[in-house]
Amino acid sequence: MASLLKVDSLTGVTTAGSISVTGEGNSTTTNLQQGLAKHWSNFKMAATFVANDSFNQSSLTDVGAGTAAPVFTNNMANTTYSDVAMTTEITTSGDLNNKTAATYRIYGLNSANAASDPTENCTIVVGDLA
């Protein structure tokens, strides 16, 4: 018999911020907090620089041609988080030299490997919040 559970918050028994969820196949567990996206963003650099939608993003900085820096509302715990980016242009990547607990940069390059402003950029960050 199926049941329905409705709650406004979940707290771990041993550690308040740690809840284990049984994974596929019932043989492993996954930490719920570790598996959640901590930030995502969809923004436009071409023509007008604008954030279309985002989560945990206080602002979006236009650093220069083909370069953007999303700024987190709630910082990450450190700089070892994983940031993944996709764009409609040839290449976009996070820059580890400019990554901090509060922000990271996205670079857009065209087919000539020159800086350009892509029309669509999507990013996601996973890791530990501070």
pLDDT score of 44 = 84
pLDDT score of 66 = 81
Q: Which long-range contacts (CB under 8 A, 24 or more apart) does 32-35 make?
A: 34/126, 34/128, 35/126
Residues, the chain: 130
pLDDT score of 76 = 92
Query: pLDDT of 84-127, one tens digit each?
Result: 876 655 444 555 457 788 988 888 888 888 888 888 788 888 77
pLDDT score of 88 = 59
User: Minimal CA–CA distance to 57: which of 112, 106, 7?
Assistant: 106
Q: Which residue has the higher pLDDT, 47 or 76?
A: 76
Query: pLDDT of 67-89, one tens digit each?
Result: 889 999 999 999 888 888 766 55
